[in-house]
Structure 1
Amino acid sequence: MHNNLIYLTDGRGKVDASKISDIEWARLIVNNRDSVRRQLVKCAWCWDEDHVTHWMKTYSRNSGGRVVSHQPGESADHPYQALESDEHKAYCDRVERVGTAEGYAAQRESRSDDGRTRSDVLLIGARHLSYEMQHSPFKPGYGARERTRRSLAAKRDAVAWHTDSSIIADGARVAMLRSNQARRPQIENPRYEVRILGGYRKVLVWDCTSREGHRCPLGRYAGCGATHVDSQPSAISLDDFIRRAPAGLVVPVWPLDRLGFWTTTQDYAIWVDHFGEASRASRGGAGSRRQSERQADGHSRRTAARDHTPGVPQQRADRFEVATGVPSELINLERSAMDEHARLAGLDGEAYDAQWKAWRMAAEEFHAAVTEYAAQSDVGMSRCEVEQAVKKAVRHPEPES
């Protein structure tokens, strides 16, 4: 249904004509028979955008479809647009406020040059980020994937879909951020934290052994020995996301895929280095991408706690640095991560959870250092080669001569 947003001058205000009940629609057709003289139905799009009044005709097709149309020669039809709720407006206000405070240029209801795409809020920093808030189910033929494709073609660097409904997020078929549900007073409160619960993930890299604490994607209980890359949900607030995304500090992985997600630029580099830049996970497979959701803690806590940490003397690390050119700092970071992992043995409950977080923080520090080192122009190895070399030096050290 085109031209679905209308203003009714009988006191009902702005409504979505496609959501009016059949009885009310039949009554509206009768009351608006002479639309220009009656002046009951006004085009909300023309009024909101240009403050121009166009009195709309209302009737039903023989097939039963509802029609709201301009008078001949007045204006072209407008595409379907969902009615903006109070929460929708509050979210857009918040995004505009946070983005402007961060120094980005913010444009509300921004349209592309051809008029075919619209952004609830367009944030312009190092990148053009189109923010879209979705409160209601997508209209057939006007879905998130089609709108994302058009927006990317209209020189938007990224489209950040956001919803507080798990049903809408699951049916969007694009990478979508899902937050906790909040009411208008909470959204308008700058001290209230809108937490992103889905669609933002952390990339993990591990050697597939029972000691690493991850389930093997191939189903081997003791691990297959290969290096795997996967992701698991991570935490970020909506405000922090808005501060980082226009600066290019967080980017989408497979934005046109329902299983796509947002992650940091460092994690994105790891992911692309492993899977490539395809729009789907054809190289890794859905199973390898989401296995960490099934059991992120590994085979079991008892098995994950089994570990042995062969020490690497500093002089051996120095010899490794001379032989390969890889700094001994990377060896020390990996050794620190393994020490934290070894401390999981014998723990349970809150103590285990606290130590598990300490281990993950140490592992993340190591992976960040590897990514930074591999990105240097004078390094002749890829990121994966650097990581493999460091782990081999730590876990399988050469015997003393």
Structure 2
Amino acid sequence: MHNNLIYLTDGRGKVDATEMSDTEWERLVEDNRDSTRRRLVKCAWCWDESYVTHWMKTYTRGGRVISHQPGESADHPYWELESDEHKAYCDRVERVGSDEGFSATREAVGGLTRSDVLLVGERSVSYEMQHSPFKAKYGPKERTRRALAAKRDAVAWHTDSEIIARGAKVAMLRSDVATLPQIENPRYELRILGGYRRVIVWTCTAREGHRCPERRFSGCSATHVDSEPTAITLDDFIRKAPASWALPVWPLDRQGFWTTPEGHQIWTDHFGDGANTGRAGARRPQKADGNGHSRRTAARNHESALAAVSLSSLAVAEAELMSLRHLAVTAHADLPGRIGEAYEAQWRAWRTAAENFQMAITAYAARNDVTTLRPEVERMVKSAMPYSDPTP
């Protein structure tokens, strides 16, 4: 069957007509009698490839026929609803995530949203691969909101189309176009070219070499925060995101991006926790108290008071971290010498203990009375109580 892929404007979205039941097909033919005026069936090939709308005629003549004009039968070849490349990307993400020890589920359903691959580690990350333009009224912003409402911690949009990345209206990772053998090859590096950035901080002087945001030739002497592109592979991103080593900045904003935990902390401290529009006004530093102080100034002014109030609670939290770390180290030490089901059971016990420790680290670093960044907290605890042998 030619022209099998169509968009139905009654809410069903992109449909493969070869998979419709006889009853559904007969009803579609009846509803689409005056195709130009009805505007029910649109050619998916023309729209996805060229952004051109063609309202299709539907009728039965020795089989199901969908055509641009009467008598046409070979406008476009048969096209699968999900391309082989799309499947290969999802297979790769599932494999990398599983090898890293995360829970990776294909086509996971949550609330009103469906994830291409759901990765669950310390964070629940919904991976979405986008090859074709988004459906009207069901674009990336709406799908991201639904995913977050379904208790996903983040949505990692990925595309190899510059057009889709430029018009997505959300934070989106972009990679080069890769062929099917390259995507399927685990040794081939799929490099992220956009959507993952490094946060930089500089004092605005002529020596720094950065352009002054205030357009002063010799600099304004203020401290500025900005971001610049940096390199990462898709596989490394998949290893980092569910473990909180890659975090999204303003995921509902097309000017949003993913960055390191340190960069995320610097950015949100300077600009605020979120923005939906990307306007410059939304990026001004937010006030922390009623005295006109910035968050950074307020934290500095109240640092001694916070330390005095929270000293005892910090000591308890730190003791809990060391206790959870001890459980993980002990479970890991019991792995050598075990085989078969005994090894699998002990490995699961170790992974559970390690995950509990990681969640506790995240909760501790998020406290208002803790000024140390999460990676530094983790480094200090692991240095105080390392594994007897290097972990995989």
TM-score range for the pair, normalised by the shorter chain length: 0.5 to 0.7
What's the counterpart of residue 212 of structure 2? 216
Alignment of 1:195-274 (within 5 A): 195-274=191-270
- Find 1:17's aligned residue among 2, 6, 29: 6
Match of 1:153 in 2: 149
Is this contact kept in 2: 1:275–1:284, CA < 8 A?
A: no
Are the aligned partners of 1:195 and 1:238 in contact in 2 as well (CA < 8 Å)? yes
Q: Which runs of 5+ in 2 are unaligned?
A: 9-15, 43-79, 286-364, 374-392
Please list, as runs of the form range in 1=range in 2, the aligned pairs for 1:374-389 lying within 5 A after superposition. none
**Aligned match for 2:181, one of 158, 161, 185:** 185
Letter in 2 for 1:100: S
Deviation at 1:152, TM superposition (A): 0.7
Which residue of structure 1 lines up, in the alignment, with residue 167 of structure 2? 171
DSSP-derived class of the 1:212 partner: coil
Question: For the structure 1 residues 103 and 220, does the alpha-carbon distance in structure 2 shift closer, same or farther, using more than 3 Å as the test?
Answer: same
Q: Identify the residue that residue 42 of structure 1 maps to in structure 2.
A: 19
Identity percentage of aligned residues: 60
Corresponding residue for 2:40? 66
4+ runs deviating over 4 angstroms: 280-289, 375-383
Amino acid in structure 1 at the alignment position of 2:82 = E
Gap runs ≥5 in structure 1: 1-9, 20-27, 29-39, 45-52, 69-81, 290-374, 384-401
Against the structure 1 CA distance between its residues 197 and 98, is the aligned structure 2 distance closer, same or farther, given a 3 Å change threshold?
same
2:275, 2:283 within 8 Å by CA — same for their partners in 1? no
Q: How big is the shift at 1:98? A: 0.3
- 1:195 partner letter: R
| Equivalent position amino acid for 2:163 in 1 | I
In 2, are the aligned partners of 1:166 and 1:178 still within 8 Å (CA)? Answer: yes
- 2:255–2:278 CA contact under 8 A, matched in 1: no
| Residue type of the alignment partner of 2:115 | S
- Assess if the C-alpha contact under 8 Å between 1:202 and 1:233 holds in 2: yes
Cα distance in 1 between the residues matched to 2:191 and 2:23: 42
SS at match of 1:160: strand
Task: Give deviations 1:38-96, integer Å, cap 9, x for gaps.
Answer: xx94339xxxxxxxx9864332164332369xxxxxxxxxxxxx921111111001000
Q: 1:222 to 1:67 in 2, by over 3 A?
A: closer
Alignment of 1:346-385 (within 5 A): none
Matched pairs, number: 246
* Separation (CA, whole Å) in 2 of partners of 1:111 and 1:267: 31
Distance change in 2, residues 1:284/1:17 (3 Å): closer
Tell me, in whole angstroms, the C-alpha distance in 1 between the residues paired with 2:262 and 2:84: 37
User: Which residue of structure 2 aligns with residue 318 of structure 1?
Assistant: none
2:82 matched residue in structure 1: 84
Q: Distance in 2 between matches of 1:93 and 1:380?
A: 40
Q: Deviations over 1:249-294 (max 9, x none)?
A: 11100000010000011110001111111225879659999xxxxx
User: Which of 124, 127, 132 is matched with 1:131 structurally?
Assistant: 127
2:106 equivalent in structure 1? 108
What residue is the counterpart of 1:122 in the other structure? 118
Q: Secondary structure at the match of 1:241?
A: helix
Distance 2:277 2:137 in 1: 26
Q: Give the SS at the match of 1:211.
A: coil
Q: What is the rounded CA distance, in whole Å, between the counterparts of 2:366 and 2:153 in structure 1?
A: 26
Shift, 1:141, TM fit: 1.3
CA-to-partner distance for each residue in 1:111-150, whole Å, 9 max, x for gaps? 11x4x21111111111111000001111211211111111
Which residue number in structure 2 is paired with residue 339 of structure 1? none
User: Cα distance 1:252–1:121, how it changes in 2: closer, same or farther (>3 A)?
Assistant: same
Decide whether aligned partners of structure 1 residues 16 and 136 sit closer, same or farther in structure 2, where only a CA change above 3 A counts: same
Q: Give secondary structure in 2 for the equivalent of 1:240.
A: helix
Task: Return the alpha-carbon distance in structure 2 between the equivalents of residues 90 and 380 of structure 1.
Answer: 43
Q: Which position in structure 2 is the counterpart of 1:353?
A: none
Tell whether the 8 Å contact from 1:42 to 1:56 is kept in structure 2 after alignment.
no
2:97, 2:238 within 8 Å by CA — same for their partners in 1? yes
Distance 1:67 1:219 in 2: 52
CA RMSD of aligned residues (A): 3.4
Matches within 5 A, 1:301-380: none
What is the alpha-carbon distance in structure 1 between the residues aligned to residue 109 and residue 366 of structure 2? 40
Maintained 8 Å contact 2:118/2:125: yes
Q: Distance in 2 between matches of 1:269 and 1:197?
A: 23
TM-score of the superposition, structure 1-length normalised? 0.55
* Alpha-carbon separation, structure 2, partners of 1:205 and 1:251: 18
Whole-Å separation in 2 of the counterparts to 1:169 and 1:227: 31
Contact 1:41 1:56 in 2 (8 A): no
* Equivalence for 1:352: none
For 1:187, give the aligned amino acid. I
2:368 and 2:169 map into 1 onto residues whose CA distance is 41
Give the secondary structure class of the aligned counterpart of 1:17: strand
1:245, 1:170 → 2: CA distance?
Answer: 22
- DSSP-derived class of the 1:178 partner: strand
Of 90, 93, 97, the residue aligned with 2:91 is: 93
TM-score by length of 2: 0.57
